[in-house]
Structure 1
Amino acid sequence: MRSSISAAAAAAGPAVVHLVAPGAASGPAAAVGLGPGWVDGRAQGSGFIYDPRGFILTNAHVVLGTPPAAAMAAATANTRWPQHMQANTGLRARAEDSSSSSSSPPAAAAAGAVPQGGLLVHLADGRVFEGRVVALDRASDLAVVAVDAAEQLPCARLGNSHRLAVGEWVVALGSPFLLRQSVTAGIVSCVERKGSELGLSSPRTEFIQTDAAVNVGNSGGPLVNLDGEVVGMNNMKAAAADGVSFAIPINSIKSLLSEISRHGRVLRPYVGITMAEVKPSRMAQLRTACPDFPRDVAAGIVVTRVAPGSPAAAAGLKEDDVIVAAAAPGTAPGQLGPPGLSVAALADALRDAIGGSLELTVVREQRRLQQQQQQYAHVTVTVRPVEAPSG
């Protein structure tokens, strides 16, 4: 096991960077979360190179100089990904964007209150570059920093966080308390810790929970498996406890990078419903508590609220409807996420349908002549793109 941890650290270590950004305040970061470290009024944190052409992933709160809870509670920044970068990031880009042949260095995109100028990137081999924030999403606490290098840089291999298992060993790398290239290890305590359990304003955000030691300055650094693959980004810890730390899953980060590549910024779907996932293990209890719940539904998503005037209301969705399938209009609705539709699967389907529509199969109960009748309905809902203002 010792050699495995050492090998994982050696594989990912060359891609780990130390970031120094201008800060708006001095002194220790707030007690909530990790927050960046502070020296002479400058926020400092960690990151990792994910593209050898000089693209670096880190937390938004590192470059903003704020604690992670504050960054995630803020709205998504309206940040444009420069067109000529889209063809060079290795990400999927729209055809009209990938045709740009500009050879000039990518300019930093406007990112609200992101500090521009003076952002320094320290590589593991001692080289120092000036970095530019080229994309930032406060709601997910993600930022992309670019540096100009004359040669390709060592980059980390991105893994698959969906393959993580509870009890699996992971390694955290970064700069806790400004101690660069520090390595700690622990196990995965939970693979899908809900943001609602942590009291975050984005309750559907999920985190990897680990007992690997992370502290102030670890923010933005990689969490890797024993193969040296990045499975998460260290983000925050419980303020009053040790061994309770949280990382953003790398698969979530990949999805956000794809959004930036396609739209130039992160767009989120809005249909105007509040929902709750019901798994098969909870179905019997739910039927006992709610006799009117639709019969013969193994699992699904219960609509607990429909916002007046929303796309969902216009489409005819009702409270207590159970969404069991989703598909693009004109295609056969399929069950997503066996053995029933999950919130994560529906969220992915809604994200893919932004600017268009999605057909939902719902089950609802109707009372006729004092008898319950189960009714399947097909509802086509418009998926509205939304992005909260920056600031």
Structure 2
Amino acid sequence: MLLLDRIRNISLICLTAFGCAGNILTFIIVNRCFFRKTSSSAFISGLCIADSMVLCLLSFQVIGKMYSPVTSYDCGVFFFLDVFRLLSVWIICFINLERCSLVFNPCHISRLTSRKKAYIFVIILFIISLIIFSHYAKHMNIEYTYSTNQTMPIRSICVFKPKFHRVAWECIRSALTYWLTVPVCIICNIIIIKCLYHASRFQRTSYNNFNETLNLSSKQRQLTGMLVTSSICFVLTVTPSTIHSIYLAISKNFAGQQYIIHVLTNILLHFHHASNFLAFIFSCSRFRVELIDFFQKFFCAGIFEKWHKRSTATTEQMYVYSTRHQKTPIKLFTSKPNMRKRNNQNGIVVITMNNFNTRQGKKHGPGREAFYK
């Protein structure tokens, strides 16, 4: 059992590191120019924040118990963990409902895809989650496990009070979080995939205004592919844990083998909080393009700029050819900051300005040459 707990703890910490990095990148990409004006960007942003909070709270709980088994914040962590987990699941559920409404009402996309309304809706979901779990402040407390001499606590845990109906609440919490949302996501995914399949067949067989229809719906189709893939990952990772929890509630079988299954399904359950970044990468080409452009712009630009500064000389040389004598080069080299004017034997007046850095960190514009005969 101790080995399984260590495997679970290490897996959760690794999932937190990978999932938080992926959620941060996803949050940045969906708020850039291509996805920014859609309502799905608001839902995905809220999903990234909720998933990151769930992963961070899990790792904080694991690491805190490793270094200090006796803590006073167990109930607070337990409360916010359930709040953000429920928020994450509800956002995924309403994303599927939104995609279904867009599939059935393609002519009302501008009405159904309001970004401001989506942000307000995510905030309302968060407030509802806080209200649902607000009774934890009354029905939960911290219990301490003492040593053999009963003087020093060696471990603390947050549990429900004895008079609280724990079994009934666990069924309600599981139903709100997984038992109701998973069937809704499955039904919505089947409907969306079926409608997209029929739409693609219709576009292949019709030739009137084909390019115009493709251009107008390309963004929504890519968003739909992203969100459907994320929803499928959610269903695949959550379904085993949901089925196993229902089995445990019915059979009351808590043997050692069931504990192993519980640990494995629990790791898989928390994997969906870190899987959205992978789902978006593999399902949407535009997301990959935006991600590569982000890395090139913000990470590679500084390196290339340093290399460019080192490889560029502080002065420049130019050759100007006379109009009187055929192919007679006149080498212009300026080394003073002031503008200079000189004549040569060919009757060309050359006005030059220096083109090198006078101070470190500042650049002058390129030199301008004017030629008058």
Q: TM-score, normalised by structure 2?
A: 0.22
Structure with a larger share of its residues in helix: 2
Calculate the TM-score normalised by the size of structure 1: 0.22
Report the structure, 1 or 2, having the larger strand content.
Answer: 1
Query: Larger Rg: 1 or 2?
Result: 2
